[in-house]
C-alpha cells in the first residue's frame, strides 16, 4: 500500500519493499531448481540431490520404526513384503534409477494403523494393519508399487521445494498485507499456502497410482488388484468421506478411475 507523506507525495512502506525482495528471491530460487525426471519425463522443481534424499531416508527410518511399534523381522509376512518389493524393483524401470540399490522394505508392527508410506531415497514401510487386510500378493504388489512410485518420482524432494516456495511467499504476503487491526490477515495467507500444498499432494498420489500400475505390469502382477486396494482403504476409513479438496489423498473412487485409465494406457 502507498502512504502519503507530509510533503504531499507518496512513499512505499519499507515492509512492502522487503516483501517484494523476499518474494522475488523465493521465486528465483524455486525456478532455478527445475530438473527433468528421467522416468516420468516431467519437469520438477527439486532443491536436493538424490544422495541427499537417500541420506535423509536412512537417517529417518530408525525413528519412524520406533514410533510405529517396531519392525517385524524373521516371519513369513516380513519375508513376503521384502520379496515382492525387491521383485518390483529388480524387474522394472525402478532398477534404472539412482535408488535401485537403496530400496529397503519394512513391515511395521502396528495392527491398528492401516497405512503404507515411503521416505525419500527408498525406505518403504507397510503396517501389519494394512497387510492383514490385503487379499493376495497382487494387492501387496500394488501397495508397494505405489510407494516405489513416490520414491522414483522424487515426490518428497518435490514436496519440500514446494513447501519452501509456499513458506517464502506466505512470509512475503504476510509482511506486505499485515494489518494490526486485523490479526487474521496472516492466518488467511497461511491457509492459502496450506491449500496449495494439499493440491500438490493429491496430484502426486495419482501419479504414484499410475506408476504403481506400470511397475505391476512390468513385474507380472495384475494391476486390477490395485482397484481392490482402494476399496480396502475406503472400508478402513469407516465410510467417512473427507471432502477431496481438503484432503492430501484423492477420494478412493476418484483413484479407481485413474487406475483404470492407467491400466488401459500401459496395456496397449
Chain centroid, CA 62 distance in Å: 20
- Yes or no: say if 183 and 144 are a contact pair by the CB < 8 Å rule: no
Joined together, the cell numbers standing for residue 55 give 541420506
Q: Is 260 helix (H, G, I), strand (E, B) or coil?
A: helix
Cα distance between residue 39 and residue 42, in whole Å: 8
Residues with catalytic roles: 147
Beta bridge partners of 248: none
CA distances from 15 to 21, 152, 172, 175 (A): 10, 41, 9, 6
* Angle (deg, nearest 10), helices 252-267 and 225-236: 170
The Cβ-side half-sphere exposure at 66, using a 13 Å CA radius, reads: 5
Joined together, the cell numbers standing for residue 200 give 500438490
| Residue 207 parent element (H or E) | helix 184-219
Give 53-56's long-range contacts (Cβ < 8 A, gap of 24+): 53/99, 53/120, 53/121, 53/154, 53/156, 53/157, 54/98, 54/99, 54/102, 54/120, 54/121, 54/122, 55/121, 56/119, 56/120, 56/121, 56/156
Cα distance between residue 78 and residue 37, in whole Å: 31
Amino acid at each position: 500500500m502507498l502512504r502519503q507523506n507530509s510533503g504531499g507525495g507518496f512513499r512505499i512502506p519499507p515492509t512492502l519493499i522487503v516483501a517484494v525482495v523476499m518474494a522475488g528471491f523465493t521465486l528465483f530460487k524455486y525456478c532455478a531448481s527445475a530438473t527433468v525426471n528421467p522416468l516420468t519425463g516431467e519437469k520438477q522443481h527439486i532443491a536436493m540431490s538424490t544422495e541427499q534424499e537417500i541420506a535423509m531416508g536412512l537417517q529417518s527410518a530408525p525413528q519412524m520404526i520406533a514410533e510405529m511399534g517396531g519392525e517385524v523381522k524373521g516371519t513369513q509376512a516380513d519375508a513376503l513384503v521384502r520379496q515382492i518389493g525387491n521383485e518390483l524393483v529388480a524387474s522394472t524401470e525402478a532398477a534404472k534409477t539412482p535408488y535401485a540399490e537403496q530400496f529397503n522394505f519394512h513391515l511395521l508392527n502396528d495392527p491398528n494403523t492401516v497405512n503404507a508410506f515411503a521416505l525419500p531415497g527408498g525406505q518403504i514401510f507397510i503396517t501389519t494393519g494394512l497387510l492383514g487386510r490385503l487379499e493376495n500378493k497382487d494387492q501387496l504388489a500394488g501397495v508397494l508399487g505405489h510407494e516405489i512410485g513416490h520414491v522414483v518420482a522424487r515426490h518428497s524432494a518435490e514436496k519440500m521445494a514446494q513447501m519452501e516456495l509456499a513458506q517464502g511467499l506466505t512470509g512475503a504476503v504476510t509482511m506486505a498485507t499485515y494489518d494490526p487491526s486485523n490479526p487474521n490477515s496472516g492466518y488467511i495467507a497461511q491457509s492459502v499456502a496450506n491449500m496449495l500444498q494439499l493440491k500438490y499432494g493429491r496430484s502426486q498420489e495419482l501419479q504414484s497410482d499410475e506408476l504403481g500400475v506400470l511397475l505391476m505390469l512390468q513385474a507380472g502382477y495384475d494391476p486390477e488388484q490395485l482397484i481392490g486396494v482402494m476399496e480396502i482403504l475406503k472400508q478402513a476409513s469407516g465410510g467417512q468421506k473427507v471432502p477431496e479438496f481438503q484432503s492430501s489423498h484423492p477420494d478412493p473412487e476418484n483413484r479407481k478411475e485413474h487406475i483404470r485409465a492407467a491400466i488401459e494406457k500401459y496395456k496397449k
